[in-house]
């Protein structure tokens, strides 16, 4: 249960979001990105796969890059190794995406700082599924 006594920006971001671009989303049900995105779909979010290696995932057309996505994105959820994060964040900045989420074990301080300077809310090293489940039981 969410308490309104303390500000919870993660709760606010997840509550306001409709469309989540999952960068590095796999079409393999065995990959963590697939499980997390499938969960988010069951929670009512529109998932947009961003992965140049696949045609589609979870019934949604995949795009090679964030810049190819033709609709508004509320959260960019990143499942990429740290060396690829800065490029993704640069694209999110170009698109003026409100939030960038780096999954567990993804830490990139320079990219996070760039995103924050552009007015983007940043979550690093946390699983969006776990954070959602904690707040929206």
Please answer whether residues 133 and 12 qualify as being in contact, where contact means their C-beta atoms are separated by less than 8 angstroms.
Answer: no
Count the helix, strand and coil residues of the chain and give each as a percent rounded to the nearest 5. Answer: 40, 20, 40
pLDDT on residue 116: 98
Residues of the chain with pLDDT under 70: 1-4
Evaluate whether residue 3 is within a structural domain.
no
Please answer whether residues 80 and 23 qualify as being in contact, where contact means their C-beta atoms are separated by less than 8 angstroms.
Answer: yes
pLDDT on residue 1: 52
Identify the bridge partners of residue 122 per DSSP, sorted by sequence position: 100
- Structure confidence by residue, pLDDT tens digits, 62-93: 999 999 999 999 999 999 998 999 999 999 99
Please answer whether residues 41 and 61 qualify as being in contact, where contact means their C-beta atoms are separated by less than 8 angstroms.
Answer: no
- Residue 43 exposure: Cα atoms within 13 Å on the Cβ side: 24
User: How many structural domains comprise the chain?
Assistant: 1
Evaluate whether residue 4 is within a structural domain.
no
pLDDT on residue 54: 97
Tell me the CATH number at 84. Answer: 3.40.50.720
Q: Which residues contact 52 (CB under 8 A, 6 or more apart)?
A: 64, 65
Domain extent at residue 52: 9-109+119-135
């Amino acid at each position: 249960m969410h308490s309104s006594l303390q500000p919870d920006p993660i709760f606010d971001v997840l509550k306001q979001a409709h469309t989540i671009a999952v960068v590095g989303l796999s079409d393999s049900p065995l990959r963590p990105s697939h499980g997390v995105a499938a969960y988010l779909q069951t929670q009512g979010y529109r998932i947009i796969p961003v992965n140049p290696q696949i045609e589609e995932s979870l019934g949604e057309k995949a795009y090679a890059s964030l810049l190819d996505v033709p609709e508004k994105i509320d959260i960019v959820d990143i499942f990429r190794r740290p060396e690829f994060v800065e490029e993704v964040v640069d694209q999110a900045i170009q698109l003026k995406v409100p939030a960038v989420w780096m999954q567990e074990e993804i830490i990139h301080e320079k990219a996070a700082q760039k995103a924050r300077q552009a007015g983007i809310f940043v979550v690093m090293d946390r699983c969006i599924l776990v954070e959602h489940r904690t707040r929206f039981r």
